[in-house]
Structure 1
Amino acid sequence: MKKILYITGLLLLAVMMSFASAEFYSSMTKVDYVEGNRTLKFTTKMNTRHISDAIKINPNTAGFEAEVKKYVNNNFDLYVNGGAKTLTFTGSQVNGESTWVYFETGGVTDINSLRIKNTILLGTFPGQINIVNIAFKGNQRTMNFQRGKEMNEVSF
């Protein structure tokens, strides 16, 4: 009887511990096409602690935004209709557990295909998943990125 109670206790402890250390690593990017000025606007939301760990700087310091800008520029590439587009960082803000990053690209008259390389936080967190939702002239597309699938393409 003692042996059964001991084994049951160990199993219960193992189950409880398996839930205690689970952490979810993700970013979400929303892409909107602004037809009036032919611009794709990007809004990315990520966990403040995770981006802080990746760039190795405290989010409360003055250099945080500059490092986030450099990090996003190095980890997010955009190709419209096969041509590379330059992304312009327009700002960021830390709001508690979330960091919001804003960037854009102009001169987009039409989109037949959109290819994105998104490696945000993939090098730091093996379980990271990045989701990109795109809205273009009434059409919605979603892309998923993870280690081993850093590039994705959609057609309109």
Structure 2
Amino acid sequence: MKFVRIAFVLLLFPLLTASSAHKFYVSITKIEYVEEKESLQIITQIFIDDVEDVLQKRYDPNVSLATKKEREADIELLTKYILQKLKIKVNGELVELKYIGKEYDIDIVKSYFEIKGVKNIKNIEIDNTVLMDLFEEQQNIIHLKTASKRRSLILDKENPKGLLNFH
């Protein structure tokens, strides 16, 4: 009888101690319109391990971000990937994102972009498919701030585009 109890506990123990941890797949993009500079300033925040996974699968298995192994080529691939996956239209016109730089904050990579020559915003359309080709559950949250308004969008695989109107 004692053997049966021990066997039962040994079989049950892994089930009781197993965590049902669910990983969240999310990125956050903050866009701020700076009227006096006529620019949209953009910060995209992505978990390093998630973007590293997609870069390794898509481009090069040796990509390494935020480590001593990081190469200039890895940053170029990161930038290339984000520029392919993040498209912005201002007043119906596709605009060019200029890469400014990046920094690491614990387990997040923050990439900085700017769009110059932006005047009189009527609407902004954002197409953000970052990491959606790797993670079905990926959500990309967009926060947009102007002098008078704050707006947000949640984009996912089924709805990767959003339109924000300002007039």
Alignment of 1:58 onto 2:61? no
What is aligned with 1:17? 18
User: Which of 106, 119, 137 matches 1:109?
Assistant: 119
Distance 1:149 1:45 in 2: 20
RMSD over aligned Cα atoms: 2.2
Give the partner amino acid of 2:47: N
Distance 1:145 1:136 in 2: 20
* 1:98 Cα deviation from its structure 2 partner: 0.8
What is aligned with 2:135? 125
The gaps in structure 2 that reach 5 residues or longer are: 57-62
Give the partner amino acid of 2:85: N
TM-superposition CA deviations, 1:42-75 (whole Å, max 9, x none) = 0011100111111111112332211111001100
Secondary structure (helix, strand or coil) at the match of 2:150 reads strand
TM-superposition CA deviations, 1:15-48 (whole Å, max 9, x none) = 753523x111110111111111100000011100
The 5 A counterparts of 1:2-151 are: 14=15, 16-17=17-18, 19-20=20-21, 22-56=22-56, 57-59=63-65, 60-151=70-161
Secondary structure (helix, strand or coil) at the match of 2:141 reads strand
Structure with larger Rg: 2
Distance 2:16 2:40 in 1: 46
| CA spacing shift, 1:64–1:83, aligned 2, 3 Å | same
* 1:112 Cα deviation from its structure 2 partner: 1.0
Distance 2:138 2:122 in 1: 29
Paired positions, count: 152
The gaps in structure 1 that reach 5 residues or longer are: none
Secondary structure (helix, strand or coil) at the match of 1:115 reads strand
